[in-house]
Structure 1
């Protein structure tokens, strides 16, 4: 992936996550400065942890464009909320799903650039995608989405596995990215629309014949 394309993807990712943080802050009736804090945690938290783990310069310190994109997204969302009709919760779900998908890709790509194996890259993708939203939910006193049964971390994992499969088939970067993003967004949005859940510890229902014994 070229440096310019990687940079653009990161700018887009922080903007989407900043919007989701601003929307949740508004829903929780947090004051103005608090909304900025929540939005910045959402947009920059996951990537910061990724860079610390990979022993890389913090991305938003190395390039202030990420901060500018974050602040612009916050201001734009605040103006939209003030002057446009009330927003449906689906806006939050959509922008969070897109941000999750983009940051997942960012983590995978950055890890691969640093020479890690694909398993570590997929883990870094999940870390980048999940931890911003985790910080946002904790600060807003919400049960983090990643801790609930809804498809969230598993959507990241599925997107990462899709990227790995296409990468192993020597598919062009664009197809690896597109495939991963589509899978992540569809799974996350589908979980909201149709109630898909991941219940690892759900007990098997006993068959009628077992109950009779």
Structure 2
């Protein structure tokens, strides 16, 4: 089971590293900038989560996370150089997949650390959103978390599905898959139909 969680973590790390690489490409960063942006995107949220939970930071003693980041960077840069152009929605779709993985993994880790359900869901939001927020701030963009289509709300929904699944006795793997699909589906639907939660009346 621990190995399964580790693989889920690596997949999420790689996907978020891809989004960091795509943003670095848009901003015309050099090689070092690409690696930095990919890395902070991939491990930023999980690092903040672990510091808050006062548990060992997940990447300190496991080099496989950095191998996953470097592999994602190399593959993505090669594809970009080969294709010459990337569809505009690629970043958002890749980010949605990373969000789905990390929101659920963050919630799950907080529950294993003995946190109550609401705290675990908040940790899922932090894990899913903070890496992308750091990425956007470094790239001088308004973070996706703070604008546009549903973002953090999709993490909350995924966290709720996971905690309810565990509470009602679903197998952990099934609860994880259902929660990830919930987060991913909501995020992609929000992108497709531009679903937002406005509290101010903005002119068209």
Note the aligned Cα RMSD (angstroms).
1.2
SS at match of 1:89: coil
Give the unaligned 5+ runs of structure 2: none
Between the two proteins, the alignment pairs up a number of residues equal to 201
8 Å Cα contact 2:96/2:184 also seen in 1: yes
**Shift in Å at residue 64 of structure 1?**
0.8
**Shift in Å at residue 85 of structure 1?**
5.1
Whole-angstrom CA distance in 2 between matches of 1:27 and 1:148: 19
Of 17-26 and 108-117, the range deviating more from structure 2: 108-117
**Shift in Å at residue 172 of structure 1?**
1.1
Give the unaligned 5+ runs of structure 1: 204-213
Whole-angstrom CA distance in 1 between matches of 2:84 and 2:131: 27
Query: Paired residue for 2:47?
Result: 48
1:4-15 equivalences in 2 (<5 Å): 4-15=3-14
Query: Paired residue for 2:110?
Result: 111
SS at match of 1:61: coil
1:59-74 equivalences in 2 (<5 Å): 59-74=58-73
Whole-angstrom CA distance in 1 between matches of 2:81 and 2:110: 40
Whole-angstrom CA distance in 1 between matches of 2:148 and 2:161: 22
**Shift in Å at residue 158 of structure 1?**
0.9
Instruction: Tell me the alpha carbon deviations over residues 149-181 of structure 1, each in whole angstroms, 9 at most, x when there is no partner.
Output: 420000101111111222222111122111111
1:86 and 2:85 equivalent? yes
1:39-188 equivalences in 2 (<5 Å): 39-84=38-83, 86-188=85-187
| Structure 1 residue runs of 4 or more that deviate by more than 3 Å after TM superposition | none
Of 143-152 and 7-16, the range deviating more from structure 2: 143-152
Query: Paired residue for 1:35?
Result: 34
Whole-angstrom CA distance in 1 between matches of 2:148 and 2:157: 16
**Shift in Å at residue 185 of structure 1?**
0.8
8 Å Cα contact 2:38/2:73 also seen in 1: yes
Of 82-91 and 179-188, the range deviating more from structure 2: 82-91
Whole-angstrom CA distance in 2 between matches of 1:185 and 1:27: 24
Whole-angstrom CA distance in 2 between matches of 1:17 and 1:186: 17
| Alignment CA distance shift 1:137-1:59 (3 Å) | same
Whole-angstrom CA distance in 2 between matches of 1:44 and 1:130: 11
